[in-house]
Amino acid sequence: MNLEQAVMQIIVGAGNARSLAMEAIDIAQSGEIQEAKAKLEEANEKLNEAHNGQTALLTKEASGERVEVTLLLIHGQDHLMNAMTVRDLADKFVGLYDKMRGN
């Protein structure tokens, strides 16, 4: 996998994960807690896809192959960290909405 492919895997996976996590919050707010939890699982799967792109680059670097740090790579890393934060917060929101409904 070349740099551009890995970065695009990170960006696409992270973007999809963030969107799914935000959907989970909206769904939980409407009272569909199990559906919200399912969306969070989908978000986790997309984050894993993004993480696989990151791991490919880290593996190259660790094996002695230089990975060029480009603006696109930084953008991808920013997307990944943002998606991870949103997913973590969405998990908390879903839990709070669940408690508010007495579960």
Using CB atoms within 10 A of its CB, is residue 4 exposed (0-12), middle (13-18) or buried (19+)? exposed
Task: Give 102's contacts (C-beta < 8 A, 6+ positions apart).
Answer: none
Alpha-helical runs (H) found in 30-70: 33-62
Is there a binding annotation on residue 26?
Answer: no
Per-residue tokens: 62: 């660790």
- Please provide the size of the chain in residues: 103
Catalytic residue among 75, 92, 99, 101: 75
Catalytic (active site) residue 75: yes
Task: Please enumerate, by residue number, every residue annotated as part of a binding site for Mg(2+).
Answer: 78
Task: Please enumerate, by residue number, every residue annotated as part of a binding site.
Answer: 78
Catalytic site positions: 75
